[in-house]
Structure 1
C-alpha cells in the first residue's frame, strides 16, 4: 500500500467550506430575524463556491476534473448491480455511484442558492434579484426554495453521510481522512494529482473571479 495525492488542496477546501456554509444557511434560516442577513451571505458564498467548482471541474487537476468521473449508464448500472465484485473494483477519486452523488449535490445546491436570489419572506427580507421579476413569480420560486429543493438538499446530504459510513464499515476506507489529507492508500500504480503551489494560486484566482461575479450580480440596480 502507498499513498497517492488524489484531492488537491483547493478541492478539499471547497468541500469543507461548502459543508460549513450549507450548515450556516440552514441554522440561520431556522433562527430567522436578524440572522437572515447571514443566511443571505452564506447563500452568496455558496454560489461563488459552486461557480468555482464548476470551473475547477474543467481546469483543475486530474481527479477534480469532471472528465475523470463521468461514467456512462451501463457502467453505473453494472457497478450498482455488481454486488461484491463491484466493491472490489479500484477507483481513484469518485466511483460511478459516487459521481452521481457529486453531480446531484452540485445541481441541487446551485439551484438552492440561485433560487434564493429571487425569493422573499413576505415580511422583511427579499433576495437581491426579486426587483427584476413579478411578485407572483417570486412566490413560486420561494416555494421551490423553501418547500421543495431544500428537502432535496437535506436528502442528498443524508445519503452522502450514509455513503461515508458504508465505505468506512464495509470497505474499510476512511473517506473523511482522505478529504482532509488529500491522500488515498492504493495497492496499484496511479498518477498523483497536481497539488503544487501553481495549481493553488490558479484556484485562488478563479475563486476571486467567481466571488467578484457573484458580488456584481447581487448588487445590480
Structure 2
C-alpha cells in the first residue's frame, strides 16, 4: 500500500548516518594531523575510508535518493533549475537538486582522493606512513603525501561552498536542508514531484554494503 502520510521518507538512516559521521570526522582528521597525533589520524582515516567506500557502494545498491544513476539523469535539468532559481520559482525537490548533485559528486571525489592518497602517504623522514605505503616507493609516497595536503585545501573549499549553499537556501529560498538530513523526512506537499519514487531502506543491500565495507577496511588495516 502506498504511503499517504503527510511526511515522506527522503533520506534513509544509512545515508544520514554516513553523512553526519563524515561531518564529525573531517575536523577531527584535520586537528589530529595539525597536532601530530598520527596514530589517531590513521585510525580516523581508516574510518573515513570505510565511510567513503560504503557511500560509493550505497550509490549503486542503496535507496533511490542515494543512487548515482538517478542523480546523473537529473543533471540534465540543471539549466531549467537555475532558471527557476533566478525567477524565484523554487520548490524543494525529492532528494538532491541538480546543483546539489554536482556538489555531492565533487565532495565524494575530493574525499575519495583524500582517503586514497592518505593510505599511501609517507612523511619526510619516513617514520609516519599510511597502511599501504609499503606497496609503493618512498618517492611515490612523498608525492602522494603532497597531493594529500593540497587536496585537503580543495576539500575545505568545497565544504565552505556547501555550507554557504545551505545558508543561501535557508535564508534566501526559505528551504531547510538540515532538518530533513536529521529526520530523513520532508513534507510531501512541498515537494515538486507529483509521483515520488519508493525510497524504503532494504535490509539485504545495507547488510551487503556493510559486510563489504568491513572486510575491505580490515584488509587495509592489516597492512599497517
Residue 137 of structure 2 corresponds to 134
Q: 1:89 to 1:71 in 2, by over 3 A?
A: farther
Residue 113 of structure 2 corresponds to 111
Residue 3 of structure 1 corresponds to 7
Residue 170 of structure 1 corresponds to 172
Q: 1:170-200: CA deviations, max 9, x gaps? A: 22221111000000123254345203xxx25
Question: Which of 196, 200, 211 is equivalent to 1:194?
Answer: 200
Residue 14 of structure 1 corresponds to 18
Distance 2:170 2:176 in 1: 5
Question: Which of 154, 160, 163 is equivalent to 1:152?
Answer: 154
Q: Is residue 22–residue 42 contact of structure 1 (8 Å, CA) maintained in 2?
A: no
The two structures have a TM-score, normalised by structure 1, of: 0.88
SS state at 1:70 partner? helix
Question: Which of 12, 27, 34 is equivalent to 2:31?
Answer: 27
Distance 1:180 1:200 in 2: 21
Q: Is residue 113–residue 151 contact of structure 2 (8 Å, CA) maintained in 1?
A: yes
Residue range with higher mean Cα deviation, 86-95 or 1-10: 86-95
Distance 1:117 1:141 in 2: 9
Cα deviation for residue 92 of structure 1 reads 0.7
Unaligned runs of 5+ in 1: none
SS state at 2:11 partner? coil
Distance 2:110 2:197 in 1: 32
Where does 1:91-106 land on structure 2 (aligned, <5 Å)?
Answer: 91-106=93-108
Cα deviation for residue 75 of structure 1 reads 2.6
Q: 1:70 to 1:89 in 2, by over 3 A?
A: farther
Question: Which of 191, 209, 216 is equivalent to 1:213?
Answer: 216
Q: 1:74 to 1:203 in 2, by over 3 A?
A: closer
Cα deviation for residue 144 of structure 1 reads 0.5
Aligned positions, number: 215
Distance 2:9 2:119 in 1: 37
Cα deviation for residue 89 of structure 1 reads 4.7
Cα deviation for residue 72 of structure 1 reads 6.3
Q: 1:92-139: CA deviations, max 9, x gaps? A: 110000000001101110100010011122243111122121111111
Distance 2:34 2:101 in 1: 31
Cα deviation for residue 161 of structure 1 reads 0.8
